[in-house]
Structures are given as structure tokens and as C-alpha cells.
């Protein structure tokens, strides 16, 4: 049974209070203008982020990961329907699965596991070690089995990732449908469209054949995959496909990047901005599931922007160089 919007009255009120600590233009300006790394990290500390103990990427990532985990725990403490939160957390489960599968074949390639997923890391590790996925969603279970087989047969981690990406989006669509939320469903479809646009641009830039592009694309978005395949065969024409959509600017930048005219920086930024623009509609929802989902997405965008600023400071980039890399803000 679909929950009523009024069922979210208390949780929405809590979310509105938490929004006051999101990154905004004023805070970004202060971080960019800060004269030292120590002065820069004081701003996220004012927003509730943990202490960044030293000017290093490791210290930054530790603080950002802790903030993500603390945010999820806080929201779960007052949101009854955890399915909304789990939809946002699902990508971290799949990140962990990808990492562990690759580590079985290429231990030196092992990435850092995330504690932000809804399946505990120890549970995933044990399941992978024992090849027992009985408690996992059937879509995830099938994806793991197929991805392992593909990697073992081809020794190509990218093809294995494609399998898990298809499983991730299939499970995401299923979970979004179960929420019966138009807002969440629309976000997931846009997320798939963004994924497909990125896949098309990168594959075209690398001059991959049409079979590779077909294998990389995901169904379930609002943009017809067959149109992207036609554009792939012609090595262009995506501007027309995305004309009048939320991704029109990103597609124009993507076509330039695909041809080699520009790099990926502006394209990636515009893709992320399209997602931020979508969730901004939740700011005008009095109460419901949309503000909860939007806050979690906005928080992830904040973490990305703080990472960009702090990493830029470590690299000695100018304020203008860092600003050119920043994504849009929710508030």
C-alpha cells in the first residue's frame, strides 16, 4: 500500500532542519578563498563534518566516508520506510561486490570497500568467500554469478562491471517501483539516461565498435537505447536525441568530448548537474518521500564538491580552476 504524504510529516521536518547544513554558494566561496588548507577544512567542520587531521587524501576520504555513514544512520533513526534510503545506498553494495570480484583475480587492483551500503561489508565478504548468496536479491545474486563467470572467462574487468551495472540498475528500477514514488522513479530513469550518455561518449571517444556500445548500454531510462545505438553506428548525432531534455547541455558537451575536441571535465560536470536540477523540485514538496531522497542525493553531491575543493587545494590549483570542476548545489 502506498504511504500517504502526511505519513512523512515528522521526517520531512527533520530533513528541512538538516538542509541548513548543506553546502551553499557562500560556504563554497569561503572554502575557495581560504588562504590555507587548515582554514579551508574549518568550513566543513562548521557543517558537522568530522575533523580532517592532516592535509592528505587519506584523511579527506576518511572524514567524508564517516560523514556519509553518519548521515545514513541519522536518517534511518527517524525514517520508518528504509526502502527509500536503501535505494540510495544500493550503489555502495554493488561497488563492494565489484571490488571483491576483481580482487579474486587481481588482488593488487583491490579498491577501498564502503560501509555505506545496506548490506554489511562482512556479510558480503563472507558470501563471496563461501559463494552463498541466498539472502541477496535474486537480481544481485544472478549478477554476481554472471560477473564472476565473465571475468574468469575473459579476464576483462570492464565486461564484468557491465554485468553488475545491468544488475544494479535492474534492482534499482525494481526497488523504485516498490516505493510507488513518481519522484524516485523519475530519478532512477534519469540516472540510467546519464549512465548511457556517459557510456556512449567514452566508447565513441575510444573508437569502440557497435557491439561494445550495445553491451555497455542499459535499458529502463527515458531515452530509447536503440537511438543511441544508431548514433553509435554513425559516430555522432546525440544532440538531436537529447534535444529538449534535461541532458541537452550535457549531450552537446558529450559530443564535443567524444570527437576529441574537448576533455571530459565539462561533460561530467553537466551530467551531474542534470541530476541535481532534477532533485531541486523536492524543495517545494511540503512533505513526502521526495525530500528524504533528495537530501541523500544532495549530501552525496556535497561530499563530491568538498572532495574536489580539498583535493584542488592539495594540488595547488587556483580558485578559478577548482570552481570550474564543481557541481551544482541543491541549496
pLDDT mean across residues, the chain: 92
Tell which wins on pLDDT, 258 or 107. Answer: 258
Task: Give the pLDDT confidence of 131-178 residue by residue, as tens digits.
Answer: 999 999 999 999 999 999 999 999 999 999 999 999 999 999 999 999
Angle of the 25-33 helix axis to the 37-46 helix axis, nearest 10: 160
**Domain positions in the chain:** 1-78+285-331, 82-180, 182-283
Residue 14 has pLDDT above 70, yes or no: yes
Could you say which DSSP state residue 107 is in? G
Question: Does this model's pTM top 0.75?
Answer: yes
Question: Which cell numbers hold the place of 181?
Answer: 514514488
Q: What is the mean pLDDT of residues 38-57?
A: 92
Question: Which cell numbers hold the place of 228?
Answer: 543511441
Half-sphere exposure in the Cβ direction for 111 (13 Å, CA): 14
Residue 34 has pLDDT above 80, yes or no: yes
Task: Give the pLDDT confidence of 248-283 residue by residue, as tens digits.
Answer: 999 999 999 999 999 999 999 999 999 999 999 999
Residue 1 has pLDDT above 50, yes or no: no
Share of the chain above pLDDT 70, in %: 95
Architecture of domain 1-78+285-331: Orthogonal Bundle (1.10)
Cβ-based neighbour number of residue 35 at 10 Å: 7
Lowest mean pLDDT among 17-26, 31-40, 75-84, 276-285: 75-84
Centroid of chain to Cα 253: 20
Q: What is the residue-wise DSSP string for 22-61?
A: S--HHHHHHHHH-SSHHHHHHHHHHTTPPP--SSSHHHHH
What does the pLDDT read at residue 231? 80
Q: Is 119 helix (H, G, I), strand (E, B) or coil?
A: coil
Residue 2 has pLDDT above 70, yes or no: no
Band of residue 51 on the pLDDT scale cut at 50, 70, 90: confident
Closest CA to 199 of 219, 183, 184, 185: 219
Amino acid at each position: 500500500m502506498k504511504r500517504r504524504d502526511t505519513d512523512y510529516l515528522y521526517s520531512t521536518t527533520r530533513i528541512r532542519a538538516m538542509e541548513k547544513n548543506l553546502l551553499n554558494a557562500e560556504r563554497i566561496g569561503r572554502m575557495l578563498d581560504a588562504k590555507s588548507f587548515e582554514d579551508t577544512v574549518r568550513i566543513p567542520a562548521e557543517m558537522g563534518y568530522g575533523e580532517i587531521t592532516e592535509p592528505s587524501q587519506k584523511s579527506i576520504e576518511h572524514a567524508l566516508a564517516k560523514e556519509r555513514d553518519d548521515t545514513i544512520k541519522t536518517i534511518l533513526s527517524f525514517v520508518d520506510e528504509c526502502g527509500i534510503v536503501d535505494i540510495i545506498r544500493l550503489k555502495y553494495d554493488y561497488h563492494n561486490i565489484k571490488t571483491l570480484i576483481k580482487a579474486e583475480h587481481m588482488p593488487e587492483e583491490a579498491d577501498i570497500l564502503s560501509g555505506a551500503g545496506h548490506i554489511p561489508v562482512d556479510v558480503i565478504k563472507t558470501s563471496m568467500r563461501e559463494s552463498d548468496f541466498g539472502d541477496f536479491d535474486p537480481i544481485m545474486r544472478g549478477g554476481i554469478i554472471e560477473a564472476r563467470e565473465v571475468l574468469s572467462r575473459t579476464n576483462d574487468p570492464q565486461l564484468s562491471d557491465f554485468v553488475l551495472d545491468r544488475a544494479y540498475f535492474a534492482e534499482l528500477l525494481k526497488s523504485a517501483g516498490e516505493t510507488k514514488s513518481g519522484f524516485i522513479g523519475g530519478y532512477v530513469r534519469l540516472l540510467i539516461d546519464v549512465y548511457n550518455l556517459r557510456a556512449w561518449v567514452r566508447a565513441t571517444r575510444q573508437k569502440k565498435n557497435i557491439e561494445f556500445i550495445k553491451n555497455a548500454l542499459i535499458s529502463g531510462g527515458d531515452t530509447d537505447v536503440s537511438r543511441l545505438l544508431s548514433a553509435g553506428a554513425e559516430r555522432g548525432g546525440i544532440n538531436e536525441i537529447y534535444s529538449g531534455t534535461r541532458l541537452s547541455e550535457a549531450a552537446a558537451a558529450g559530443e564535443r568530448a567524444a570527437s576529441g575536441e574537448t576533455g571530459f571535465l565539462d561533460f561530467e560536470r553537466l551530467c551531474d548537474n542534470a541530476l541535481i536540477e532534477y532533485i531541486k523540485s523536492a524543495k517545494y514538496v511540503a512533505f513526502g518521500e521526495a525530500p528524504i531522497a533528495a537530501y541523500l542525493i544532495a549530501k552525496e553531491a556535497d561530499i563530491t564538491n568538498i572532495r574536489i575543493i580539498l583535493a584542488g587545494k592539495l594540488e595547488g590549483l587556483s580558485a578559478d580552476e577548482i570552481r570550474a570542476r564543481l557541481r551544482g548545489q541543491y541549496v
